[in-house]
Chains A and B, each alone.
Chain A
Amino acid sequence: MAHLKISGLDVRYGTTRVLCGIDLEVARGELVGLVGPSGSGKSTLLRALVGLVPPSAGQVVLEGEIVDYAKKDSLRALRDHAAIVFQQYNLFQNMTVLDNITVTPVKVRGRPRAEAEAQARALLARVGLSGKESAYPDQLSGGQQQRVAIARALALKPALILLDEVTAALDPELVRDVLDVIRDLAGEGITMLLVSHEMGFIREAADRVVMMDAGRVVEVGPPQQIFDTPIEERTRAFMSKIIRH
C-alpha cells in the first residue's frame, strides 16, 4: 500500500487552475524529487498537501487515511504525520534555536520539556549545530537557519517531510551542508517529497523523480530515465535547457 496516494488533486486560485488532476503514489521511505519550470505547481502541490492551500477536487490518502481538508480533525491528524520545510526557513524570530525546536513538542504535543530539549540537542548535533542552542535565528547564516528548520521538522517525528526549495535561498557553499542532512535522512523510513533545482542532488539521492509542468505531472520515473532518457517531449525540452546552462 502506498504511504501517500494523491488522486486527481486540483487547486484553483480564483478561476485559475494551478494544479490539474495530480496523480501520484509514494511508497513509505521513498525520496521523491519534484522538478519542473518555475510556476509548474511543485510548491503549490506541497502547500496543498499540508492544507495551506485548500484543494478544490481530488483525494489525498496518507497512512491509509483519507484526508478531509474541510474538517479540522482530519487536517490535524494529517499535520501530526507530515512536516514541511520552506525555502525561507521561517524560524520563529523571537525564539532561540532550542525554543524553535521544542515549542511544538512541548506546547502542542504535551511532551515533557526535559525530554524535548534532550531530543532537540541530539537533533542539533545531527545537523551539525551543537552549541547554537541559545542563538536567535538572525544570528545564524541562511544554511544554519535551514538546518535548524529541518531539525525542528524532525522533532515532530513526521512520517512524511515536504521540502520546498530548501536550498534555493542559500549561498552555494552552504547548500552542501543542507543537502548532506537530507541525504542522511533518506533511508531512515521517512517519506520525503523534495522540490529543488539541485538537479545533481536529485539525480543522486532521489528514488524517483516527478517532472511537472503547467500544474500537471508530465512524467514519473527513476532519475536515470528522467534525466538521461526521458520519454515525454516536455521533459526532454526541460532537461536539455538545464544541461545546456
Chain B
Amino acid sequence: MTENLANLFTFGNMQFLMRGVAMTLLLTLIGCLTGLIGGFLLAYARSSKGNLLAPVRWGAMIFVEVFRRIPFLVTLFLVLYTAQMILPRAPLFWVAVISICLLCSAYMAEIVRAGMESVPTPQIETAEVMNMPRWRITWIIVLPQAWKVILPSAVSYMVMFVKDTALASQAGVFELMFAGKALVNRGLDPLLVFATVLLAYFAISWPLARLGQWLETRLAHRHTERGIR
C-alpha cells in the first residue's frame, strides 16, 4: 500500500493529473461561457415573434430539444466522426470543445429562457407600447432582471457539467478522467488512482456548488432587502 502510494504521488504523476484538472476546468469554462452566449442567442431566437421569423424559432427549438435529449456521448461521437470526415486529423481537443458547446448551448438556452420569462410580461408590453425595439427591451429591461434567476442555475449546471466532461475521455480527449486512465495503464493501483481522481473532481465541484448556493441566497436576499418600504 505504502509502495503504491509512493508510486502514485510522484511529482511527475501529480503534474500529469494537474494537467488533467486544468483541461477539465478549461473544457468546463469554455463550454459554459460559450453555452451562455449560445444559450442566450437560442433563447432570443425562440422568443421571436411573427411569421417571418418562424423558421428561426423552429430551428432554435429543434436544436435545443435535440441536444438536450441525446446522451452527450452520442453528440461527442457525432462531432468526432463528422470532423474526421471533413478533416481526417481533426484535433481531439477541438472535437471536445465543439461537442461541449453544442450541449451547453442547448441546456443554457433553457436556463436563459426561464430567466427571461421570469420578468413580468406587462413590463415588456409597456416597453413595446413605448416603441422600444425588442433587442433593446431584452438588453436594458429583461436581462438586467433575469440574470438573478439565470446565474445560480447556470452555476448549478456548471457543477453538473464538470462531471460530464469526463465522457470526453471516451473519444480520447485528454482531461482529468483520461489522465487517471493513463496512469492506470502505466501500472499504477487503479483504486488509488481513481480515488485521487474522485478527490480532484470533488475539489472542483464543491466550491462551485457552494458558489451557486451563495449566489442564490445572496441575490434573493438583496432583492428582499431593497423591497422593504
Contacts and interface: CB of A to CB of B under 8 A. Distances in A.
Nearest to B136: A107
Contact of A104 (B123, B132, B145, B228): B132
A16 interface: no
Interface in A131-163: 136, 138-141, 156
A139 B144 contact: no
Interface residues of A, number: 27
B122 A94 contact: no
Interface stretch (A18-26, A85-93, A208-216): A85-93
The prevalent SS among residues of B at the interface is helix
Contacts of A51: 129
A88 B130 contact: no
A103 B129 CA distance: 13
Interface stretch (A4-12, A27-35, A76-84, A190-198): A76-84
A123 interface: no
Contacts of B164: none
A107 B125 contact: no
**Interface size class for chain B?**
20 to 34
Contact of A52 (B125, B144, B145): B125
Contacts of B227: 138-139
A158 B219 CA distance: 37
Contacts of A52: 125, 128-129
A50 interface: yes
B131 A86 contact: no
A243 interface: no
A108 interface: yes
B140 interface: yes
B131 to A, nearest CB: 5
B126 interface: yes
B128 A104 contact: no
B131 A108 contact: yes
Contacts of A156: 130
Contacts of A139: 226-229
Interface in A91-105: 91-95, 103-104
A10 to B, nearest CB: 21
B229 A141 contact: yes
Interface string B113-141: 00000001011011111111000100011
Contact of B131 (A95, A104, A140): A104
A3 B127 CA distance: 24
A79 B131 contact: yes
Nearest to B119: A93
A90 B131 contact: no
A123 to B, nearest CB: 15
A81 B126 CA distance: 14
Contact of B125 (A90, A93, A138): A90
Contact of B126 (A86, A136, A138, A140): A86
B226 A83 contact: no
Nearest to A140: B229
B131 A80 contact: yes
Contacts of B127: 92, 104
Contacts of B144: 94
Contacts of B131: 76, 79-80, 104, 108
Given A52-B128, A83-B129, A94-B145, A107 B140 contact: yes
A91 B126 CA distance: 8
Contact of A136 (B122, B125, B226): B226
Contacts of B145: 93-94
B125 A108 contact: no
Contacts of A103: 132, 140
Contacts of A80: 131
Contacts of B130: 79, 83, 104, 108, 156
By Cβ-Cβ distance, the 9 closest A-B pairs, closest first, are A94-B144, A90-B126, A104-B130, A90-B122, A138-B227, A79-B131, A50-B129, A94-B145, A90-B123
Given A108-B136, A139-B226, 12 more contacts: A51-B129, A79-B130, A80-B131, A82-B129, A83-B130, A84-B126, A88-B122, A90-B123, A92-B126, A94-B141, A104-B132, A138-B229
Interface of A: 50-52, 76, 79-80, 82-84, 86, 88, 90-95, 103-104, 107-108, 136, 138-141, 156
9 contacts: A51-B129, A52-B128, A52-B129, A83-B130, A91-B123, A94-B141, A103-B140, A138-B226, A139-B227
